[in-house]
Amino acid sequence: MKISGRKGKEPGNVVSRKTGSVQGKGPADPAGPVSGVPSSGTPSLAISDQGRLVSEAHRALDALPEIRVEKVERIQVAMDHNAYRVEGHQVAEKMVTDAVRELRNRTR
């Protein structure tokens, strides 16, 4: 895996996924050795099994739609009072729209 041109690539830095801001120790000392870089000067990257699992978990969470808590609570109250009504054609229309959007995203 090659990593280049990214903010915060110095060892010990962390780039926030939300803001893109860099937090950490700052740039490495150019005169000193850099960990993770072999003597040949070619950067390398080793990811542990735990790191891979964390990465997979992040991707899975990112793929989930955001939950609108207020809307869910409003629907739950309506269901509790037997007042939640949905037209079948609205459900079918939403399902078709979502399926078409998903197919279009796959072809990109």
30-83 pLDDT tens trace: 444 555 555 666 777 777 888 889 999 999 888 887 888 899 999 999 999 999
- Look-up: residue for tokens 């989930």? 64
Shared domain for 55 and 23, answered yes or no, is yes
Q: Give the residue with greater pLDDT, 99 vs 48.
A: 99
Q: Rounded CA gap, 37 and 73, in Å?
A: 52
Q: Rounded CA gap, 55 and 45, in Å?
A: 14
Shared domain for 53 and 17, answered yes or no, is yes
Shared domain for 73 and 53, answered yes or no, is no
Residue 48 pLDDT: 85
Q: Could you tell me the residue range of the domain that residue 96 belongs to? A: 68-108
Q: Which long-range contacts (CB under 8 A, 24 or more apart) does 89-92 make?
A: none
Shared domain for 58 and 72, answered yes or no, is no
Q: Rounded CA gap, 60 and 66, in Å?
A: 12
Residue 83 pLDDT: 95
Shared domain for 60 and 73, answered yes or no, is no
